[in-house]
Amino acid sequence: MAKTPGSRVFAGSLNGRGMLEIRTEKPASDSSLARIIHLVENAQEQRAPSQTFIDRFARYYTPAMIAFALALVLVPPVLFGQPFSTWLYRGLVVLVIACPCALVISTPVSVVCGLTRAAREGVLFKGGVYLEELGRIRTFFFDKTGTLTRGKPEVIHVRSFCDLPEDELLRLAAALESRSEHPLAGAILEAAGSNGDGDPLPAPTFVQAVPGMGIRGKVNGEIHLAGNPTFFNKGSGLSGPQKAAVEEWERKGATVVLIGTGKTMLGMVAIQDTVRGEAMAGLTELRRLGATELTMLTGDNPETGKAIASQLPIDTVHAGLLPEQKVALVREAVEKGKKVAMVGDGINDAPALALATVGVVMGAAGTDVALEAGDVALMGDDLRKFPFAVRLGRRTLRIIRFNVVFSLATKAVFLVLATVGLATLWMGVAADMGATLLVIGNGMRLLWGSNG
């Protein structure tokens, strides 16, 4: 957007050409970006360190087995006069059988295979812990723009309130919006380009943008305005039918841009971000997988949020949110003991992504800050990959649990047999190696086949 002497310039703006002298008003630590990064850091610090069952179990298992084998070798001969060679042999069999090969490898081989399968499908996990955690989650929070919707607003309706043709009304709006960097401006410019006959747009002068309201400027020698109803004295200049038309499109979830002069309302343009084609399939599949709560978070107005949610199997909508408020909602759910997955793509989502049990980023469209804060990236920006990741996490958990239980049960059975002298050293070797090969093969099933 063109700047003139006295204009405010946001941090991170790019100067196209020429030289500018800019005076800073705040230190970098007070910028919006710095505050968001601070929220991300705080959220990451609050994440409890994950510790798997094997880590805790191995702390006691190995010393206990060594102590048991040593006692088996010494106690019977010393206290009961039993032959030392017999109990030495049994102690060696116990040590062979107790070797935790199958137990120790049961978890990492499954996790590595799960991560490899996910990567093949375009889902990247930052670590195995997130694969396991995702399999336990039943509460899902979704950002709206760019996650459930395409993130690309489109003009869906143009209506003239006067004798000005609708295509000319759209070109007039595009002329004003050509000096704006707002996403809605891009939608109007794109629509005008596709509807026009190639003639250049009128060049506006004396352009002034009013943040959160609209833009005004002189086009064809007359001052024109384009913005929301509040920009036009809260819509007081609208007639009954005109006001009804605006409210109708707002109820449908569209953002209405009015175009007029200082005295006359010329018409309106309705703009709406469309729901991703795969969003319905993705959320429906999550529901089938047992999701208990599907919540949408958005900074848009409540009507827009409700309109988008009505097209999807969403349970709850929270609208008009700032980044801090998204964090508060995620924190509230986590403090209630829920495991929460947050799915988003924008910089405003980064703090909530970091605080959630698992943060999932729409990878290709995700901002650098969001990707840094997230734990999982859907590189294809396809929401149908998210239920796949959840199913994979649950299947990985099932295989890990089976491997652990099988390993422990096998050890327990053969330890009893070895203690009473019914297991030989070769049987111990076969049992240990057999269990190890079985859990490896079971974990490798994650590399192929159905993910149900």
Query: How many Å apart are CA 395 and CA 390, to the nearest integer?
Result: 9
Catalytic residue chosen out of the listed positions 30, 55, 143, 432: 143
Query: How many Å apart are CA 309 and CA 287, to the nearest integer?
Result: 15
- Dihedral (CA of 422, 423, 425, 426) sign: positive
The yes-or-no answer on residue 143 being catalytic is yes
Alpha helices by DSSP H, 47-165: 53-80, 84-98, 101-120, 128-136
Burial of residue 409 (number of CB atoms within 10 Å: 0-12, 13-18, 19+): exposed
CA nearest neighbour of 341 among 289, 409, 277, 418: 289
- The DSSP letter of residue 76 is H
CA nearest neighbour of 175 among 242, 222, 213: 222
Question: Which value, to the nearest 10 degrees, does the dihedral of the CA atoms of residues 423, 426, 432, 436 take?
Answer: -140
CA nearest neighbour of 145 among 155, 156, 154, 153: 153
Query: How many Å apart are CA 303 and CA 318, to the nearest integer?
Result: 11
As annotated, the active-site residues are 143
